């Protein structure tokens, strides 16, 4: 138990000093929302119906996929891992505390979007707020787990950034959060379905039914956690 609280306190200290966390979890998503929210609702008034969901998917995808992998590389590829071992901290705790930290910060960012979008851009609240929050939590967990795969499997910081962008860009361009995915070729629409953003967006907009969207997210989550467990074992060596 002492090792657990040590890991949590260490993660908290790293969060306070992290500029990457501030940029990826708050500043950039909220700045994008402030600029693009007005553009979307002016050019396409119907965008008000899904502005909260689309901006949230963008913010969560960016915060998790761009912010989490470098933090994991910092933990498992530096002296921090040795500090963990010296204090009896289990290998999986670095992944858990990093994921938990990202979850908390991105949930807070999502709530800022949730309440400010109707205030500033006359966006519509989700029809079922409780179901929306549950959908958001599931999407956060899945996306953070996918980000964990990148951070644990790719140990080089520069390569981590490259892989993060390779996952992040299709996540926001292909699922239809910025423009209707029907405008894309069928092949790109199929590729877009491989990313949790596609199913998370449909789940939060209540498009296509609950189970139809939850099952793909559950499959992605299981695969991501399996790969994360393998990555944690590799980083022990």
Question: How many whole angstroms separate alpha carbon 147 and alpha carbon 24?
Answer: 13
The pLDDT, as a whole number, for residue 128 is: 92
The pLDDT, as a whole number, for residue 236 is: 64
Evaluate whether 147 touches 68 at the Cβ level (below 8 Å): yes
The pLDDT, as a whole number, for residue 87 is: 59
Residue 3: which pLDDT band, with cuts at 50, 70 and 90? low
Which string of DSSP letters, residue by residue, matches 184-206?
Answer: S-HHHHHHHTTSHHHHHHHHHTT
pTM for the predicted model, two decimal places: 0.89
The tokens for 61 are 């995808």
Evaluate whether 184 touches 174 at the Cβ level (below 8 Å): yes
pLDDT digits (tens, 9 = 90+) for 148-203: 999 988 877 778 889 999 999 999 999 888 888 888 888 998 999 999 999 999 99
Domain holding 192, by residue range, is 2-236
Question: How many whole angstroms separate alpha carbon 51 and alpha carbon 85?
Answer: 45
Question: How many whole angstroms separate alpha carbon 237 and alpha carbon 146?
Answer: 22
Tally of domains within the chain:
1
Evaluate whether 221 touches 141 at the Cβ level (below 8 Å): yes
Least confident of 75-89, 100-114, 162-176, 199-213: 75-89
3-state helix, strand, coil in the chain (%, to 5): 85, 0, 15
| DSSP assigned state of 27 | I
User: In the predicted model, is pLDDT for residue 237 greater than 60?
Assistant: no
User: In the predicted model, is pLDDT for residue 1 greater than 60?
Assistant: no
pLDDT digits (tens, 9 = 90+) for 10-43: 566 666 556 677 788 898 999 999 999 888 888 8
Residue 81: which pLDDT band, with cuts at 50, 70 and 90? low
Over residues 202-212, mean pLDDT: 87
């Amino acid at each position: 138990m002492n090792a657990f609280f040590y890991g949590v306190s260490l993660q908290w200290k790293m969060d306070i000093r992290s500029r990457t966390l501030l940029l990826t979890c708050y500043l950039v998503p909220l700045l994008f929302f402030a600029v693009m929210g007005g553009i979307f609702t002016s050019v396409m008034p119907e965008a008000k119906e899904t502005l909260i969901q689309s901006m949230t998917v963008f913010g969560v995808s960016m915060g998790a996929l761009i912010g989490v992998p470098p933090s994991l590389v910092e933990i498992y590829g530096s002296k921090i891992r040795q500090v963990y071992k010296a204090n009896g901290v289990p290998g999986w705790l670095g992944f858990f505390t990093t994921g938990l930290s990202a979850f908390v910060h991105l949930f807070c960012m999502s709530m800022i979007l949730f309440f400010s979008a109707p205030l500033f851009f006359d966006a519509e609240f989700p029809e079922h707020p409780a179901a929306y929050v549950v959908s958001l939590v599931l999407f956060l967990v899945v996306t953070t787990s996918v980000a964990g795969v990148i951070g644990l499997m790719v140990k080089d910081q520069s390569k981590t950034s490259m892989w993060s962008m390779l996952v992040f860009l299709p996540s926001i361009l292909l699922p239809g959060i910025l423009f209707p995915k029907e405008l894309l070729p069928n092949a790109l629409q199929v590729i877009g379905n491989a990313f949790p953003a596609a199913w998370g967006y449909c789940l939060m907009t209540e498009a296509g039914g609950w189970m139809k969207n939850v099952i793909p997210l559950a499959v992605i989550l299981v695969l991501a956690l399996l790969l994360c467990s393998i990555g944690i074992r590799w980083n022990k060596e």
